[in-house]
Structure 1
Amino acid sequence: MPNGAETKARIESYLLARIPFVTVRTVERGRVLDILGELAQRKQLDIMVHTLSQGLRDLKTKQVVADDKSLLGALDLAGEWFQARSNLTVVFTDVQHLSEDNDVSRRFADLATLAEEHGGCMVVITSDPVWNSLQRMGMAVSLDLPDLDEMRHEIEVFLHPYSSAIRIEWEPADFDQAASILAGVTKIEALNILATFVVKKSVTKEDLLGLSQAKDSIFSELSGIERVSLKAGDHQVGGLSGLRQWLDRKRPLLTMDLRDRGMRPPRGVLLVGVPGCGKSLSAKAIASDWQLPLYRLDMGSILGHYVGQSENRFREALNTADTVAPCVLWIDEIEKGLAGSGSDSTGVTTRLVGQFLYWLQESRSRVFVVATANDVRSLPPELLRSGRFDDMFFVDLPETEERREIIQIYLRKYLRVPVPEEVLEKLVHLSDGFSGSDLQAAVAEIGYEAVRVGDANVPLDYYFGSFHNVVPLLRSAPERVEEVRQLRDRAIPASGKPRSTADRPGGNRRVVLG
């Protein structure tokens, strides 16, 4: 049963049973008042609601019944009503400081006792915890944000009255995707976004992207993770065809409803390999190609100096990612925060690993994690177990065809004139052993000269000299490259080209598809 329907049924049973104190934990006050209003009409219940802006009013008639808008005045009046009337329900919506033993919480406890003696009922709508002694005087219920089914229903109900007046291009699959995108927002936030589409008198398939952007703007100031701005076309990836084909298969699954099969959305990918070969760029390219917001979690900034600080920061970051989903969460150099599990004297790393593993395994939010690591051997082995990430790819130095594709991408980006094919072939030959960042640096140097003297005036010798001047990692630190390459047998080649049997000690544990 959807949470909204279950919560409604429980609230109704508590009110009819005259439970003296009922707590509804939620951030959607308006949604709870809608439920209570419907119950007041259907069951003919006397329900009074207090807000600081309007004071006490009758929920059925909407009439204000007291001029005093203060909370203490409402508590005094509710006490008088409980003694004079039976079967009365009073709802409080703007209550603070109920989480501990204080004058306010004790006033509520006294009122709950009075309500129990006279068949009254008091309801508190809050998103904060309630003092334990007070909560034990009644019952509690939580109203979560709308789930997929509830959100889809709300979208359909909202748009239906406009179906004859505006153009609505959405098909059933589009309504499903819209509900998936809007997961994590309140009902009123979702309807406000849809209202902007109604105003322009059309709801098109392109508006699905607008849903993501509008949702992103709601949560742009949340703490814990950093929003990464992307521009279309700025993050093209050359080579890595195996990784790109794998991602193409995963993309539609991220927003599909997989609950009937008992499956979770794709969780993400771990990219390991030679530095400068496109691991971080791939995270940006995935978000850009999938038209999803990109958030970066810096593991280095998570670690704090005080007891519990690191764990709280990490928990907040993961909760924020769940809230802004669907999104891409980029964890750069994940080994910086999760390496050495069990070796630190305080146990912080072990607890962070435990938090992360639990979240990877249990969270059903549509967060696609792209984690990068230069040395997977320093990561705890339990993080690499099947079922955590969907797969692990090794990103190696680009081969000939991959270098040609990467060079062409940057030549088109930095120059305004075509480069002869024979020049391109020479650059591909000169760049043997280059990483992707080496190739970008070499072509960028040509671009700077083109800006200075004009694209057509850059001599060919300058092209070749720019590549000659680059000292790639393979020449400056060959032992480092070889050390990283020892990890190749533990991951799928991102290039999509299977390694030979000789390169796979004991055989490869994976089959490269596509």
Structure 2
Amino acid sequence: MSNKKEFKTSLQRMLRARIPFISIRSIERTRVLEVIQQLAEEINIPIYVHSLSHGTFDVRTKKNVNDDRTVAGGLDFAVQNIAQRLNLTFVFTEVSDIEDDNIVSRHIYDGVVQAIEHGGSICLITTKSIWPQLQRLGMTITLDTPNEEEMLEVVKDCVLPYKNSITIEWDESDYKMAASILANMTKIEAENVLATQMAKGNLTKDDLKELVNAKDKLFSDISGLEKVKIEPSLLSVAGLSGLQHWLEHQKKLLTADLKSRKLRPPRGVLLVGVPGCGKSLSAKYIAANWNLPLYRLDLAAIQGQYLGQSENRLKDALASADNAAPCILWIDEIEKGLSGATASSDGGTSVRMVGQFLFWLQESTAKVFIVATANDVSKLPPELLRKGRFDELFFVDLPGEEERKDIIQLYIQRNLLSKPSDQMLQQLINISEGFAGSDIEGAVRDVAIQAVIHGDNFVDDTLYEKCFKNIVPLSKTAPEKIEAIRTWGRERALPASGVAWGNTMSDRILNKRSIIV
């Protein structure tokens, strides 16, 4: 059932029960009034609406019954009529200063007391909290922005009437994809985006990308998150075929009907492994490949100095990510933000932040695909690694021989360099044993710098060899640390390379994991 249907059913019961005070939480006044008008006609009760621009009018006939546009004047009119007639309902759309004990709140309170005595009802459409003493006289109901089910109706109602006048290439799957993209936007925002696309005289499958861009602009400055710009032409991932294969299957689940099987959308992936091997690059690659906006959540940056501030900032940031869905949420080096969960030096802030994040990770149903990266897994709280938090745990190891060859050729091509001889290429592959992807990138970048300084003719096999031999990889400067990371990953995670860890007896005894094809 869509949120609007649930809202309508609940509001209908409250009106039939003659609840004296109803606070309606919503940022979409127009949608709320649409439902109220429908209920006024269906259950045949008089409902009057007050606004600062029209005064008080009958919601069914639109006939104005009181020209006083002030809130105080509207309340006086409502109280006077409620005292004279039974079962009247008045809806106020623009009331401010109701959070505390003040003149406005007291005025409404007195009106609700009159409503209790005469079977009336006073409703407020607001996004603010209500003075507690007033709220205890009634009930609260919320109308959220359209979910996918309701947004599908909005999309079709907006597009299908123009099917005979403009070219529309969308099929049923495209309508569902559009609904998925526009979900969590307001109805008017979605209608404006669709109308803008149709204004050019057609609606093509490529316009789905424009829907993503339009929504991205609306949420580009959401609190707690940093929008990451992506240049798809510069994004290529070499050597992570296992991860890429798994991601292709997850991409299909974004548009599949999962409700019948009681499955939730893909939740995300945790990438652990050696620093510099492409974990962070993978987040950008996924966003570009799936054509979704990428937001970065910096857990360290949301830390506050006051009690509860960090947790509130994290809650707001995660709520913003839900509103921006579908999107990719990138959490780089997650262990730095969620480590120390057992430490008491921070007053329990780490523990509460971990709890907040895990609850959202488990319960949120928004299509937010998380790409979390970690270098030192030992610092992560064990409950984060439990099955069901993330969809999968991948280990990004140092590249093997074939992977190093692909990475070398990738960066040579990207930097527009002349290729080394086949013999030198093989030698570079041997020299780069123990290199991370960032080490190889650095070596090729040194070659490119010399090409800029001295010209392309300066690039030869000797220069390639010299630049590669100048690199001292992390695997040699901190071998114990790197080996500890590799040992952990081989025993507990899937290989991102897609290559099995091995076929020896020791491998089978350790029960090393493999990708399900």
Question: Which bin holds the TM-score, normalised by the shorter protein?
Answer: over 0.9
Corresponding residue of 1:506 = 509
RMSD between superposed Cα atoms in Å: 1.9
Q: Which residue of 1 aligns with 2:294?
A: 294
Q: Is the 8 A contact 1:99 1:131 kept in 2?
A: yes
**Which residue is equivalent to 2:170?**
170
Match runs of 1:453-468 below 5 Å: 453-468=454-469
Residue 494 (structure 1) aligned with residue 496 (structure 2): yes
Q: Share of identical aligned residues, percent?
A: 50
Instruction: Quote the Cα distance in structure 2 between the aligned partners of 1:503 and 1:467.
Output: 34
CA distance in 2, matches of 1:110, 1:272: 61
Does 2:204 match 1:204?
yes
Alignment pair present for 1:436 and 2:425 = no
The AA in structure 2 aligned to 1:493 is P
- After TM superposition, give the deviation of residue 63 of structure 1 in Å: 4.1
Q: Distance in 1 between matches of 2:506 and 2:102?
A: 69
Amino acid at match of 2:328: V
What is the aligned partner in structure 2 of residue 228 from structure 1?
228
**Partner AA of 1:130 in structure 2:** I
Counterpart of 1:284?
Answer: 284
Aligned residue pairs, count: 514
Amino acid at match of 2:485: V
Question: Shift of residue 362 of structure 1?
Answer: 1.3
Q: Helix, strand or coil for the counterpart of 2:271? A: strand
Question: Could you tell me how far 1:478 is from its partner in structure 2?
Answer: 1.6
Q: Are 2:415 and 1:389 equivalent residues in the alignment?
A: no
Q: In the TM superposition, what whole-angstrom CA distance separates every residue of 1:281-311 from its partner, at most 9, and x where no partner exists?
A: 1111111111111111112112222111111
| Correspondence for 1:348 | 349
Q: Distance in 2 between matches of 1:393 and 1:282?
A: 12
Deviates most, 321-330 or 67-76: 67-76
Structure 2 residue identity aligned to 1:497? V
Q: Can you list the C-alpha shifts for 1:126-163, whole angstroms capped at 9, x where unaligned?
A: 12222232223233222122222111111111212111
Give yes or no for contact 1:82–1:120 (8 Å, CA) kept in 2.
yes
Instruction: Note closer, same or farther for the CA distance 1:168–1:66 as it changes in structure 2 (3 Å cut).
Output: same
Distance 2:395 2:417 in 1: 34
- Residues 298 and 332, structure 1, Cα contact 8 Å, conserved in 2: yes
Partners of 2:508 and 2:372 lie apart in 1 by 26
Does the CA-based 8 Å contact 2:280-2:332 persist in structure 1?
yes
Shift of 1:416: 5.2
Normalising by the residue count of structure 2, what TM-score does the alignment of the two structures yield?
0.94
Distance 2:63 2:232 in 1: 53
Tell me: CA distance 1:203–1:480, structure 2 relative to 1, closer, same or farther (3 Å).
same
Q: Distance in 1 between matches of 2:121 and 2:76?
A: 15
Residue 413 (structure 2) aligns with: 412
Q: Answer whether contact 1:181 1:255 (CA < 8 A) is retained.
A: no
Structure 1 residue 325 and structure 2 residue 325: aligned?
yes
Residue of structure 1 in register with 2:19 after alignment? 19
Aligned to 1:370: 371
Question: Matched residues in 1 for 2:174 and 2:42: separation?
Answer: 34
Aligned-residue offset at 1:481: 1.4
Give, in whole Å, the separation in 1 of the partners of 2:21 and 2:315.
Answer: 32
Greater mean deviation of Cα atoms: 430-439 or 480-489: 480-489
Question: Could you say which residue in structure 1 is the equivalent of 2:479?
Answer: 478
List per-residue Cα deviations over 1:218-245 (Å, max 9, x = no partner): 1111111111100112221110111111
Tell me the TM-score normalised to structure 1 length.
0.95
Q: CA, structure 1 residues 506+103, in 2 after alignment: closer, same or farther (shift >3 Å)?
A: farther
1:92 positional shift: 0.6
Counterpart code for 1:474: S
The structural deviation recorded for 1:195 is 0.9
| Separation of aligned partners in 1, 2:107 and 2:220 | 39
Q: Which moved more, 1:176-185 or 1:126-135?
A: 126-135
- What's the counterpart of residue 99 of structure 1? 99
Q: Deviations over 1:236-268 (max 9, x none)?
A: 111011111111111111232311110111111
Separation of aligned partners in 2, 1:207 and 1:496:
34
Compute the displacement of 1:4 (Å).
0.9
Cα distance between partner residues in 2 of 1:18 and 1:306: 44
Structure 1 stretches of 5 or more lacking a match?
A: none
1:489 aligned partner, one-letter code: E
Matched, 1:357 2:363: no
| 2:106 partner SS | helix
Deviates more, 1:470-479 or 1:242-251: 470-479
1:275 alignment counterpart: 275
Deviations 1:286-345 (A, max 9, x none): 111111111111121122221111111111111111111111111111111111222234
Counterpart of 2:4 in structure 1 is 4
In 2: Cα distance, 1:121 partner to 1:380 partner: 50
Q: For 2:364 and 2:275, locate their aligned partners in 1 and report how far apart those are by CA, in whole Å.
A: 30
Residues 1:409 and 1:53: Cα distance change in structure 2 (over 3 Å): farther
Q: Is 2:224–2:297's contact at 8 Å kept on the other side of the alignment? A: yes
Alignment of structure 1 residues 141-152 onto 2, 5 Å: 141-152=141-152
Tell me whether 1:113 sits opposite 2:125 in the alignment: no
Aligned equivalents of 1:218 and 1:479: distance in 2? 47
**Other structure's SS at 1:261 match:** coil
Q: Distance in 2 between matches of 1:79 and 1:41?
A: 23
2:106 aligned partner, one-letter code:
R
**Residue pair 1:430, 1:467 contacting (<8 A) in 2 also:** yes
1:233-252 maps to which residues of 2 (within 5 A)? 233-252=233-252
- Offset from partner CA, 1:182-209 (integer Å, 9 cap, x none): 1211111111111112211212111112
Aligned AA (1:140) = T
Tell me the SS of whatever aligns to 1:94.
coil
> Do the aligned partners of 2:420 and 2:464 also contact (CA within 8 Å) in 1?
no
Describe how 1:49-68 pairs up with structure 2 within 5 A.
49-68=49-68
Which residue identity is paired with 2:299?
Answer: M
Contact 1:415–1:450 at 8 Å: present in 2 too? no
* The 10-residue stretch of structure 1 (440-449 or 83-92) with the greater mean CA deviation from structure 2: 83-92
